[in-house]
Amino acid sequence: MACHARRVPRLLCLQRASITFYDFNLPEGKSREVPESRTVADSTVETILPFSTDERLRAEYLSFRNQIRIGKLLENMDLAAGQVAYLHADPYRENTVMVTAACDRITLQNEIIHTDYDIKVRGFPTYVGRSSMEIRVELTQEQTGAKLAGYFLFASRNAKDFSSKVLPALTLSSPEEEKLFKHAKERKEHMKRDRQNFDIMKLPTPEERIVIHELFLARKNGAKERPLKETRFDSTIYMHPREQNIHGHIFGGYLMRKAFEIAFLTACTFSHASSVDFLLMDEIQFLAPVKIGQILNCSAIVTYTSPKLGLLQVSVEAHVVNPLDRSVTKTNTFQFTFHHNGELEELNPGSYEESMKYLVGRRIMNTAHSSELLGIMKE
């Protein structure tokens, strides 16, 4: 196999902006010409996070629960996806820029991930179109059975004028690869539908209007459910060069980590608990780059709860502020689902905008992903 496997150096974990970030130990003297096609194995990357032997690395990933910080692992997933993208498109990074377009549904099966055992990171392409590709990244820990997995979408651009650039085709070599390719095409259609469900501007269905009206009547009659605004937490930080990628923008995995961490503390505070269990992160789109020197603001609120199942949905909106002209640009909306074993409060929207956010959380939890959520919880 042409899979690029090695133990992860500390430089890869800590210095994402370094030019060594996308180096693959390519043989000297090999032609730099990009082929018309590559196999899945050609573009597969495998690394090991050596927690069992690297004490400093283990300390950096250690949470207050004596377990792995999930947000740090999300960074590793984005990092691995970027490696696969460049390995497939242009390993020497001479004429191509690979842009993260979206991340589609990251799930955690068996939420107990220990810092005493190594984690295997594996990324590989599942679908390649004319100028876009889907990459699956899996983080597995053999001793615990834990598995963190998700899909990343990249777009190929010409380094000179940023126009679309044709990618090498993906050669499928097994029935399993053909199956993944087919599912990736189906996933593209599902993502279009899901984006409509995640849009707070979408007109509520007749059934949803009844739900909102009943909540309004309950509030008028003295219901004590909490409005969404009382669950809100904010985080505001300057963007520094340490978190930049090779293109000079803030690393997408860093944004995912910051969003996860504020979503986690929001879920914990709402649940009156020191910890909750992460189940999944739904699709996110990278709408605009975050640049060095800009101010990143992340606002998290609980949008929906299911006390019966112990589930709560947290939405995180990320905006960047340019301090020079005070302009504000939305960059991402993250949707996280958590599980809590104790009691959960009901929510009651206090405004029409809150009602729309409530419905988005309800759609995520009660429609396409309800069976998947229950499946994850049984792992």
- The answer to whether 57 and 119 have CB atoms below 8 angstroms apart is no
CATH assignment of 199-378, given 3.90.1150.10, 3.20.10.10, 3.40.50.1000, 3.10.129.10?
3.10.129.10
> 37 pLDDT exceeds 60?
yes
On the CB side of 5, CA atoms within 13 Å amount to 7
Domain with CATH 3.10.129.10 in the chain: 33-194, 199-378
Helix (H, G, I), strand (E, B) or coil at 51: coil
pLDDT at 316: 96
pLDDT level of residue 369 (50, 70, 90 thresholds): low
Mean pLDDT of 24-40: 71
> What is the band of 48 on the pLDDT scale with cuts at 50, 70, 90?
very high
Kindly indicate the confidence band of residue 31, based on its pLDDT and cuts at 50, 70 and 90. Answer: low
**pLDDT confidence band for 373 (50 / 70 / 90):** low
What share of the chain in percent tops pLDDT 70? 87
Least confident of 19-33, 69-83, 164-178, 306-320: 19-33
Tell me the CATH class for 33-194. alpha beta
HSE toward the beta carbon, residue 306, CA cutoff 13 A = 19
Q: What is the pLDDT of residue 104?
A: 84
Within the chain, residue ranges assigned H as helices are 10-14, 55-61, 70-89, 175-197, 206-220, 252-271, 352-366, 370-378
Q: Is the pLDDT at 158 greater than 60, yes or no?
A: yes
pLDDT of amino acid 101? 86
What's the N-to-C CA distance of the chain in angstroms? 31
pLDDT tens digits for range 285-331: 888 889 888 999 999 999 999 999 999 999 999 999 988 889 999 99
Q: What pLDDT, in 10s, does the model give residues 90-115?
A: 887 878 889 888 888 899 987 678 88
Q: pLDDT for 354-366, tens place per residue?
A: 999 999 999 888 7
pLDDT over threshold 60, residue 251: yes
Average pLDDT of 165-170? 94
Q: Which pLDDT does position 221 carry in this prediction?
A: 85
Average pLDDT estimate for 133-157: 94
Neighbouring-strand partners of residue 104: 151
State residue 3's pLDDT score: 56
Task: Extract the tokens encoding 38.
Answer: 């590559």
Q: Rounded mean pLDDT of 78-82?
A: 93
Mean pLDDT of the chain: 85
Contact 285, 332 (CB under 8 A): yes
